A and B are shown apart, each in its own frame.
Chain A
């Protein structure tokens, strides 16, 4: 295809991506180097019959002018990245300089907002991905043995948790785990602890959100593995059985190797997607016990009095770096595939 035709065809697509994906990333990177203007304060002297009092006031006029002149805020260099709400370099130095053992270090680092969010994000990412894949694999094996007539309905029900809007799905579970909801109340009576609730217990919050993650991500693996199972070579399976392989051995040495390339693909995609975990934090109102990097950005942007663009941008850049790290294996794989095809 000649270059001209190619670009004529792809131009709208490229334009959209340049304007709304590339530019915002650049704008975020720039924004992360600025902070909001500090309030301009003027001292006003009020002299009345009882003497003079000085009063400090925010000078709205000067503020407006400052904002119009420098809409991005005041230049701050890398201070957005290093301050208490992000990488917290000073706090870390203090913690490592003076502490009472590993437990103390962990407890204090986990109190820093950024590291708290990072810890939950990574836990979610690396817990949910393998467990959801295992769940999906077993569902696929089980559905595959069902009579034909029941397969359709089983697949229908199985993909519901995946297709559901993440916010809606997490709300539905959050209501059931409410202390007055069916699971919440049952948990309270089972443990004999009437104060047990998502709000009060960080451990329970983590467990419930991770469970939600497995529930909603399992079906994706199921669909992919189920399709993979349909292409397992029947001859190989049969000859394995004739050679005396048990059912388990046939699964272990024929089916799993056959599904391995699919599994790598699913793992990489899911790691990337789970790193963005955001809606469950909102849906479960879990911010007191569990936060994620995406949620930190959201929180900076919705804060009522002043939106913290600089701070949100710094977290965004760090998140993007994290995604790129997770993405590297995918890129290498695509690169290899492409070169193999080209040869």
Chain B
């Protein structure tokens, strides 16, 4: 709309500034504070200490300190958790996409009634709270002796992720014209050949978008990873949670702050590079239902 009246324009700008501040300030504050000592970031005198780093200068000699990061990454072996997270998220994303593209393609091209029922079941599964599923895993996993290993967690996350992946890829494959693969079938390809030679080359935009969300699910998960992994092979998020229990008592809350900032960085980079795909993915889900 062109030519907003001045009053409205001021109001809009003020509101937007306020929101953008609210969205970014907590992160900026925590990143900044993670380079200070605890007496600054959690200052009993004034929060201005956290900005100037009065105590940080007194205790370490510099305005910035890497003590928190050193404590988290070296002393508490956060790097192990980071490697585990890398393994889990990459495996979850890859397996989810391989399994999901096959399934999503079949659902989009089937046209039989049972395909619809599978989608409905997937919708119901997607709504299940993850922690309730976890309470169903624990006893059987203990008995089968597969509790606590990374592959178990990966498979579980893939399964939990399937309903969403199926829905998203299904609606994406619907947008690829049927004629494309059907003409391949007429030319004598089998279904799988048509999928491999005709569909795979054109499916990457949808796969990348879906992959981003699979990645986020694996990365952000707390319920499954905290209950299904033993201490030695924890991923980052449950590791941070376990920091809180042990570290807070020893007065080293800054380790947890540094770990939190470290876990946030990959997400920032992800949004920076894939903003368009994330936005289009969310919208695709909404517009197509």
Contacts and interface: CB of A to CB of B under 8 A. Distances in A.
Nearest to B104: A13
Nearest to B99: A12
B87 to A, nearest CB: 17
Most buried by A among B160, B195, B222: B222
Contact of A12 (B4, B102, B227, B287): B102
B26 A176 contact: yes
B43 A180 contact: yes
A3 B30 CA distance: 55
Nearest to B4: A145
B127 A24 contact: no
Nearest to B136: A24
A301 to B, nearest CB: 6
Summarize B's interface: helix, strand, loop or mixed. helix
A168 B156 CA distance: 22
B128 A21 contact: yes
A13 B216 contact: no
Nearest to A263: B286
Given A14-B118, A165-B220, A21 B125 contact: yes
Given A154-B20, A297-B135, A282 B241 contact: yes
B103 A5 contact: no
A256 interface: no
B139 A31 contact: yes
Contact of A9 (B105, B267, B282): B105
Given A1-B106, A186-B47, A334-B120, A227 B140 contact: no
Nearest to A296: B131
A78 interface: no
Contacts of A196: none
B50 to A, nearest CB: 7
Interface string A305-343: 001010011011101100110110011011101100000
Contact of B216 (A163, A226, A266, A300): A163
A9 B23 CA distance: 43
Contact of B124 (A167, A275, A327): A327
B130 A276 contact: yes
Interface of A: 1, 3, 5-6, 9-10, 12-14, 16-17, 19-28, 31, 71-72, 135, 138-139, 141-143, 145-146, 152, 154-161, 163-169, 171-173, 175-176, 178, 180-182, 185-186, 215, 219-220, 223-224, 226-228, 237, 247, 262, 265-266, 272, 275-276, 278-279, 282, 285, 293-294, 297-298, 300-302, 307, 309, 312-313, 315-317, 319-320, 323-324, 326-327, 330-331, 333-335, 337-338
